[in-house]
Amino acid sequence: MSDRPRASLRRILEDLGSTVLDVAASPGELDTEVTGVHIYDPLDELLLPAGGILLAVGVDRPDQVCALLDAAGPAAGVIVKQPFDADDRVRAKVRQTGVAVLGLTRAASWAQVAALLRSLLAEGDVTGSGEAPIDDLFALANAVCALLDAPITIEDRSSRVLAYSGRQDEADASRVETVLRRQVPVRYRRMLEERGFFRQLYRSREPIYIELNDDILNRAAVAVRSGDEILGSIWAAVREPLSPQRRQALADAAAIVALHLLRQRAGADTRRRLRADLLSTVLAGGADAAEAAGRLGVASERLCVLAAQLSGDGDLDAARRESDGQRFCDALALHVGAIHPKAAAAVVGSVAYAILPMHGSGEEEARAVWVAESFLTRVGPRHAANIGVGRMARNLAEVARSRADADRALRVLRAREASGAVAGYTGVHFESLLLQLADLVQAEEQTPTGPYERLLAYDAEHGSELAATLRAYLDAFGDVNAASATVHVHSNTFRYRLKRLIEISGLDMADPDARLAAMLQMRIFGR
């Protein structure tokens, strides 16, 4: 058993390897425990907790790095984009502060390294102890790499990379891209599917050998199973078929990986359920909200609630919807956590909720809307989602109201059939009220009354469109020319229809209450 911290800088560097990170300047030992990942924003005050890793986006000069090291306090490390020249000033500052400077390879993006680091930290949390488990996926990948003399990746059913070994630079460009993105590129996955390799892999209980083209090394692969369930696969980049001994080693590794994935899934499910339960308690705003907020480590004052939901996933099976929803929520949690260390997110039901602490600028809801919009921009069209934003809650007792606001704003977006949209509650307040009125009308089985009812009955009997004429007229504030253009008739024809509908319905156009009643009924009954 190792006595190093489960998430030390040394372990992260060993697991990620020089393909992603390298040491630019070291204070000596690299056994500092890493507690979280944070993104540098020059516009925000730098409040970095002990053990945090700071992603120094846009920082490339030695004097800037020295200033960050002074401000980073008890951080574990600062990551800068390569190429970076750590001069004598930087090295001296590193020794003085004890904060390491790491270099991120030029080919990797900040989003990729944030996801990699967060995955490694979550990996360490599975054990609940201070030691790295014997069957840790990265350690196992390195062990299989040594046995097979080939670089290894361990992937899930969606070809997302869960862990990988060293020596990836000995493989081909597709493998390096896979490791950096933590996902097999679509073009390679499609090629494997079209040539039937996935079908062959999942049907076989033994390792298979896959011959590719001149640009890509061949692969040896084995499915990772739990009974009949496929959990993932192990892939080795090789130049020739494996010997019988190495085939057996790969098969044995698959059994160990299966145990690890099952345990990891159980641990992750338990933690997620606990976070969801605690967040649900905070959102309810009852007597237990303060205790739940304390256990979650979230702020208790000046909060906004975000309610996010994937759109357009009705055609997916339940398991895929749940998986996509949880992955989306993980991305949301990373995003709000980078903005404020006391934010939190979890899936409650089918909605991903986030609690976001806000500064007292007086424009909290607008700021929260901006946070939501920036998140959807970052995740891109791959996650078609809508987000509703509640009003600012001054304390935990008002969080339930902010959550209700966010739910109502999200419902307005669904009613609009929007996708990839954000709405603050105050911006959609009237639409939300109309939806609530429609709920009341439906629950009490109410029907149209008065002039509007008479118009609907006349239209149904005679095949006319007098109700549509009235709606166009009211929507155009009585502008006959604009209203007639809306329904595509001549203005004289429109005037005749308007006169006819007044005769039939008995609607007093001079009475503002009568006009309002007709407009509300048209909106609520949706005819």
Domain enclosing residue 196, as ranges = 137-264
Q: Is residue 281 part of a domain?
A: no
Domain CATH number, residue 75: 3.40.1390.20
Q: Please tell me whether residues 383 and 424 are part of one structural domain.
A: yes
Read off the pLDDT of each residue in 445-462 and give the average, rounded to a whole number: 87
- 169: enclosing H helix or E strand: none
Q: Please tell me whether residues 260 and 155 are part of one structural domain.
A: yes
Q: Please tell me whether residues 427 and 462 are part of one structural domain.
A: no
Q: Please tell me whether residues 371 and 504 are part of one structural domain.
A: no
pLDDT band at 208 (very low <50, low <70, confident <90, very high): very high
pLDDT at 512 over 50: yes
Q: What is the pLDDT of residue 235?
A: 93
Q: Could you tell me the CA-to-CA distances from 233 to 216, 355, 483 in Å, in that order?
A: 19, 36, 63
Read off the pLDDT of each residue in 270-287 and give the average, rounded to a whole number: 82
Look up tokens 């361990």; give the residue.
154
Q: Could you tell me the CA-to-CA distances from 490 to 12, 318, 462, 503 in Å, in that order?
A: 73, 52, 21, 20
Q: Confirm whether pTM is higher than 0.85.
A: no
pLDDT at 150 over 50: yes
Read off the pLDDT of each residue in 486-510 and give the average, rounded to a whole number: 89
Read off the pLDDT of each residue in 2-19 and give the average, rounded to a whole number: 62
pLDDT band at 2 (very low <50, low <70, confident <90, very high): very low
pLDDT tens readout for residues 369-397: 999 998 888 877 666 889 999 999 988 88
Asked, as a colleague might, if the bond just before 83 is cis with ω within 30 of 0, I would say yes
Q: What is the pLDDT of residue 220?
A: 92
Q: Between 47 and 334, name the one with better pLDDT.
A: 334
Instruction: Report the alpha-carbon distance of residue 174 to residue 81 in Å, rounded.
Output: 22
Q: What is the pLDDT of residue 82?
A: 81
Q: Is residue 191 part of a domain?
A: yes
Q: Please tell me whether residues 236 and 146 are part of one structural domain.
A: yes
pLDDT band at 127 (very low <50, low <70, confident <90, very high): very low
Q: What is the pLDDT of residue 1?
A: 35
Q: What is the pLDDT of residue 381?
A: 65
Q: Please tell me whether residues 434 and 325 are part of one structural domain.
A: yes
What is the secondary structure of 36-73 as a DSSP string? Answer: EEEE--TTS---PPTTEEEE-TT--SHHHHHHHHHHST
Q: Please tell me whether residues 315 and 227 are part of one structural domain.
A: no
Instruction: Give, as one character, the DSSP assignment of residue 33.
Output: B
Q: Please tell me whether residues 347 and 423 are part of one structural domain.
A: yes
Q: What is the pLDDT of residue 411?
A: 92
Q: What is the pLDDT of residue 133?
A: 43
Look up tokens 């702020």; give the residue.
299
Instruction: Report the alpha-carbon distance of residue 15 to residue 286 in Å, rounded.
Output: 43
Domain CATH number, residue 171: 3.30.450.40
Q: Is residue 165 part of a domain?
A: yes
Residue 349 Ramachandran class (φ > 0 left, ψ -120 to 50 alpha, else beta): left
Q: Is residue 131 part of a domain?
A: no
pLDDT band at 130 (very low <50, low <70, confident <90, very high): very low
Measure the CA dihedral 90/92/96/102, to 10°. Answer: 40
- 515: enclosing H helix or E strand: helix 512-525
Q: Between 444 and 388, name the one with better pLDDT.
A: 388
Q: Please tell me whether residues 302 and 371 are part of one structural domain.
A: yes
Instruction: Give, as one character, the DSSP assignment of residue 446.
Output: -
Read off the pLDDT of each residue in 443-463 and give the average, rounded to a whole number: 86
Our measurement of the distance from residue 161's CA atom to the centroid of its chain's CA atoms, rounded to an integer in Å, reads 17
Q: Please tell me whether residues 194 and 105 are part of one structural domain.
A: no
Q: Please tell me whether residues 31 and 146 are part of one structural domain.
A: no
What is the secondary structure of 311-368 as a DSSP string? Answer: -S-TTS-HHHHHHHHHHHHHHHHHHHHHH-TT-EEEEETTEEEEEEE--SSS-HHHHH
Q: Please tell me whether residues 427 and 478 are part of one structural domain.
A: no
Q: What is the pLDDT of residue 390?
A: 93
Looking at 421, 441, 461, the residue that finishes a domain is: 441
Total structural domains within the chain: 4
Q: What is the pLDDT of residue 314?
A: 55
pLDDT tens readout for residues 297-354: 887 888 899 999 887 655 555 556 666 777 788 888 888 888 888 888 888 888 989 9
Q: Between 270 and 371, name the one with better pLDDT.
A: 371
Instruction: Report the alpha-carbon distance of residue 278 to residue 294 in Å, rounded.
Output: 10
Q: Is residue 322 part of a domain?
A: yes
Helix, strand, coil percent values for the chain (each to nearest 5): 50, 15, 30
pLDDT at 446 over 50: yes
Long-range CB contacts for residues 405-409, cutoff 8 Å, separation at least 24: 405/305, 406/305, 406/306, 406/307, 406/353, 407/307, 407/351, 408/432, 408/435, 408/436, 409/307
Q: Which of 99-113, 189-203, 417-431, 480-494 has the least mean pLDDT? A: 99-113
Asked if 298 and 343 touch (Cβ cutoff 8 Å), the reply is yes
Read off the pLDDT of each residue in 121-126 and give the average, rounded to a whole number: 51
Looking at 441, 465, 493, the residue that finishes a domain is: 441
Q: What is the pLDDT of residue 442?
A: 82
Read off the pLDDT of each residue in 450-464 and give the average, rounded to a whole number: 87
Q: What is the pLDDT of residue 236?
A: 92
Q: What is the pLDDT of residue 313?
A: 56
Q: What is the pLDDT of residue 156?
A: 87
Q: Is residue 69 part of a domain?
A: yes
Looking at 79, 103, 125, the residue that finishes a domain is: 125
Read off the pLDDT of each residue in 175-203 and give the average, rounded to a whole number: 87
HSE-up of 384 (CA within 13 Å, CB side)?
A: 10
Tokens found for residue 299: 């702020």
Q: Is residue 279 part of a domain?
A: no
pLDDT band at 402 (very low <50, low <70, confident <90, very high): very high
